[in-house]
Structure 1
Amino acid sequence: MPSIREVTREIEAFSRTNGLYKKKILVLFSGGKDSSLVLYLLKKAGLDVSALTFFHRWSWRETLNWAMGFTKKLGVEHFLVDVTDGLLREAAGRKGPVCINCKKVMLWNAKWFALNNGFDVLAKGDNANDKIIGALLDQCKTDIRLCGLPKIGVPFFRPLIKYTAEEVEALAEEVGIKPHRMYEHARRRQWREGCPLQYIDREEIVTPELMELAYRVNYEVSKIARKRKVRVSVRVPSFEVMCWGCDSETLREVEFVIGRFKEDKR
């Protein structure tokens, strides 16, 4: 496993070779482990770095609060942008998953925020497990760590792209990065939390009411999950329960919560 010292030196060498010490870098900062580690490493490497966090009406407030505390402690400038209106324009009236539309909104907002505020480079927390063949950022013809994409107009720096999720986890552990967890089920076995809108059933037409339901149900079951240290999420409007490590008592509590929401819908 690489150490923080080794990874920092690698980032320093790459940054000197590619002129990044002369650039202003804006990290797309979700408050998760990967983007938190990127922010930490770029700051430690002495780069001119700031953070940009997008949120919307249904974002987890606890995660956002943790993210703001992390950047304050790190001494990094932190910008917050509400993308609720853009998300509604892109997602409402279409079938899920909402995440596809949300990422599109965030990507273009990041581009224009960077261009309008004097940033030269955007940075992301992608690791080696995030490389999907055919994805926009994997169409680079040069080093995949630094991609200049004509469609975006701002280069993307991905300092963790050659490290596996397991290595990133170990690096974050080494420096004590422990983001706030909502104890979501998520879509992968790894801690891969995001927002409750990912649990809208795939074939459903997305509406603001369905977005609100996804938030409210999953916020309530997250309290149970945190208390019992298991991972639970609920799809809506099917109310399908997804859980890692649930016992029968936990499932009864979750079903009780779901029952209240079912009654409200009648």
Structure 2
Amino acid sequence: MRLLKGAIEEVQRFSEEVGLYGKRILLMFSGGKDSSLALYLLKSAGLDVSALTFFHRWSWRETLVWAMKFTKELGVEHYLVDITNGLLREATGRKGPVCINCKKVMLWNAKWFALNNGFDVLAKGDNANDKIIGALLDQCDDDIRLCSLPRIGIPIFRPLIKYTAEEVEALADEAGIKPYRMYEHARRRQWREGCPLQYIDREEIVTKELMDLAYKVNYEVSKIARKRRVRVSVRVPSFEVMCWDCDGGTLEEVRSIIGCFGGERNAPSGKAEE
């Protein structure tokens, strides 16, 4: 527990230094490894932290159930907010994927939820691999772990921003944090799951029907992925199969699912990535 103990102590030291004790902190909590570790560290450091999870009609229900169980075990207050209507307004009629629009909806809602409910600080689970040169939160004058830019309107605390994805993985393993996996292909080799809407083809105009299709196809494919312990996702409407470590049998099963949704003719042979 040496690495984990050091991480908790670092959160405590930094929180004392910047005056976070006595403040109410609201952490944007997806139920993934990063946000789960961030929540664990803040709670273990003795900070007054609550969790905020956004969901919509295309969210994975299994990961939401796991997230609720995790916060209950930690003894953390957990708020759930449905952003379906806001996401529909922001995403439909634009080109896919919808992730950038979803993030805008979530950050805007998180800010106002925090301000309207008496929270002093908004927290996120960003790690060092998420740091983008020139991004707003990386332009802070002082330590980028706590950003108080006026444009944001509320201080944002990022306790993991100086840890790499590999270090986060090691810390989460040491803490025994094992989020529920849908066995998505994801956009990075590291476990970085999200929601099925990220698999809408780029340059495709987003519609509600296309969002429904992305969910339905990938939910069925996830059952095969979990059974075979490989990572698979399908882009729509092209029905391109993306897979880590797939064999021919897995690809054949996936193509049979695609056929049920009318994509058999357009389904490519898939790509098994190493």
TM-score category (smaller protein): over 0.9
Q: Could you tell me how far apart the structure 2 residues matched to 1:260 and 1:149 are?
A: 50
Q: Could you tell me how far apart the structure 1 residues matched to 2:264 and 2:24 are?
A: 50
* Partner residue in 2 for 1:85: 85
Q: Could you tell me how far apart the structure 2 residues matched to 1:200 and 1:259 are?
A: 18
Provide runs of 4+ in structure 1 moved above 4 Å: none
Between stretches 107-116 and 254-263, larger displacement belongs to 254-263
* Partner residue in 2 for 1:95: 95
Between stretches 133-142 and 60-69, larger displacement belongs to 133-142
Q: Deviations over 1:177-230 (max 9, x none)?
A: 000000000000000000000000011000000000000000000000000000
- Structure 1: 5+ residue runs without aligned partners? none
Q: Could you tell me how far apart the structure 2 residues matched to 1:253 and 1:264 are?
A: 12
Q: Which amino acid aligns with 2:166?
A: E
Confirm or deny: 8 A CA contact 1:30 1:53 kept in the other structure: yes
- Give the direction of change, closer, same or farther, for the CA distance of 1:188–1:246 in structure 2 (3 Å limit): same
Q: Which amino acid aligns with 2:125?
A: G
Alignment of 1:74-223 (within 5 A): 74-223=74-223
* Partner residue in 2 for 1:246: 246
SS at the partner of 2:254?
A: helix
Confirm or deny: 8 A CA contact 1:50 1:76 kept in the other structure: yes
Q: Could you tell me how far apart the structure 1 residues matched to 2:95 and 2:2 are?
A: 42
- Structure 2: 5+ residue runs without aligned partners? 266-274
SS at the partner of 2:250?
A: helix
Q: Could you tell me how far apart the structure 2 residues matched to 1:46 and 1:235 are?
A: 43
* Partner residue in 1 for 2:268: none
Q: Which amino acid aligns with 1:145?
A: R
Q: Deviations over 1:147-167 (max 9, x none)?
A: 012122111101111111101
Q: Which amino acid aligns with 1:89?
A: R
SS at the partner of 2:150?
A: coil
Q: Could you tell me how far apart the structure 2 residues matched to 1:2 and 1:15 are?
A: 20
SS at the partner of 1:237?
A: coil
Confirm or deny: 8 A CA contact 1:34 1:168 kept in the other structure: yes
Q: Which amino acid aligns with 1:165?
A: A
Q: Which amino acid aligns with 2:172?
A: A
Q: Could you tell me how far apart the structure 2 residues matched to 1:16 and 1:126 are?
A: 21
Between stretches 77-86 and 127-136, larger displacement belongs to 127-136
Q: Could you tell me how far apart the structure 2 residues matched to 1:135 and 1:87 are?
A: 23
Q: Could you tell me how far apart the structure 1 residues matched to 2:223 and 2:101 are?
A: 28
Confirm or deny: 8 A CA contact 1:2 1:167 kept in the other structure: no
Q: Could you tell me how far apart the structure 2 residues matched to 1:93 and 1:263 are?
A: 23
CA displacement at 1:136 relative to structure 2? 2.2
